[in-house]
Structure 1
């Protein structure tokens, strides 16, 4: 438990610092982080059914994210995103030179990693440009709410949880934990509304509800992935916590949903 707490503290400091140190540090850190998460996904999904093109997928993911960053910073036009086209084509061409019984499963796995991991991280990065220029308060607020939701769900679920939320996929999750997560997320959002007035109270509360709902589903989806592949953790890079994908599973569905929510309300 002590190792887990120390790891969590240092990781939170690093993530928060990446946002506060400016857009270039933020961009580089999350491009690298998304690449590690994608690598973990490819390691989990690979089996006798299909082997994703790991190197091509990583190159495509990093390139796509990097080009989006360049576009957001005004360094590149949207036309540069077309540079991803040869890599997408290569994902389909590579299996021609490999002996696989079902090559399209490998193609699907490779592209699924981009959709499941890279696009959500790109959406999270896009939150920082909600107003058109870099503003760390949006991604930082998102992460604080997500952490609040996870903390509330863990504490309430551990001490008061009785009714299973989705026992087939995640036996430890309970309805009581879900409610606790939502409550702490909303409370966190109201504190943010005071210190980060870029959104109104009800808008921050809306973000909290979206994060709680989609973050919980993101956690369940990753649990479904690991259970289907008979894997306990996505990796071992974080002592006491498992892999990076385990720490950001809630973000994968919540970030695109929050981005859509903000585009609507703003």
Structure 2
């Protein structure tokens, strides 16, 4: 428990600092984080499920995240990103080449199920890179960098996890999805929603970009889809018979274990913010 608490303390400091140190640190940090999550995913798959193209997949993932970041920077500085010679356009044009390389590599590998390798290579991109790309884009949803929204997202996500654990461990009776996560309960889900919504109300007094109703709506989305993302990651781990996605965070498991709430919640919240801001 002591190791878990110490790891959690430094984890929170690093995550908060990544939001407060400016847009370039923010972008580089989440590019690296997404890449490490993808690498962790591939290592799990290689334990017997398939042999994904790790290097090519990482290159594709980095290019995809970089293209996404270039697009939001283009919007921030009012740059015509599709003009010939612009960074975003160049990166976007490299994506089909990287995708083709995944297929071509399998031609030269003697494996009994090459399309399993191809499928898991691209699944890793979907599983690890795209959620972080949406999370990164949240900081630029208003047209310029604003750390309030991604930081608030993390705070509400942590509050949901804490609330679900505390309420579920004390009052949990009705199993939410026992087949994939035996400890999760409907009571815990409701507790997580309420505590996350409470955090949203507090945040609305300090971050006035959105109304309190919108912050609470985001909290509910984070709680519901964050829990579903957690269940999806649990389903993934059970399908390959592992307990933790890794051991990089002592007492907490791997990076995918800590960011499973982002898997579905980040794209959904970004979509909500996009329509609210427009």
Q: TM-score scaled by structure 1? A: 0.97
Q: Match for residue 217 of structure 2?
A: 206
Q: CA deviation at 1:169?
A: 0.4
Q: What are the superposed Cα offsets for residues 192-232 of structure 1, whole Å, 9 maximum, x if unpaired?
A: 11110111011101101110110000000000000010001
Moved over 6 A (4+): none
Contact 2:57 2:125 (C-alpha < 8 Å) held by counterparts? yes
Runs of 5+ unmatched residues, structure 2 = 80-85
3-state SS in 2 of match to 1:7: helix
Corresponding position of 1:12: 12
| Equivalent of 2:89 in 79, 88, 91 | 79
Helix, strand or coil at the partner of 1:73:
helix
How far residue 262 of structure 1 moved from its aligned partner, in angstroms, is 1.0
Which of 158, 170, 195 matches 1:159?
Answer: 170
> 1:227 — aligned with what?
238
* Shift, 1:67, TM fit: 2.6
1:92 aligned partner:
103
Distance 1:120 1:57 in 2: 16
Structure 1 residue 89: deviation in Å?
0.5
Q: Does 1:172 align with 2:190?
A: no
Deviations 1:41-95 (Å, cap 9, x if unpaired)?
Answer: 1112235442110111111111221232233223745422111221110011100
**Corresponding residue of 1:241:** 252
> What is the DSSP-based 3-state SS (H/G/I as helix, E as strand, rest coil) of the residue aligned with 2:142?
coil
> Is it true that 1:124 corresponds to 2:135 in the alignment?
yes
Counterparts of 1:4 and 1:49, CA distance in 2: 30
Shift of 1:182: 0.3
Structure 1 alignment gaps of length 5 or more: none
Q: What is the root-mean-square deviation in Å for CA atoms of aligned residues? A: 1.2
Aligned length: 266
- Residue 176 of structure 2 aligns to a residue whose secondary structure is strand
Does residue 193 of the first structure (1) align with residue 204 of the second (2)?
Answer: yes
Partner of 2:54: 54
Contact kept, 8 Å, 1:68 with 1:122, in 2: the verdict is yes
- Is the alpha carbon distance of 1:261 and 1:64 closer, same or farther for their aligned partners in structure 2, counting shifts above 3 Å? same
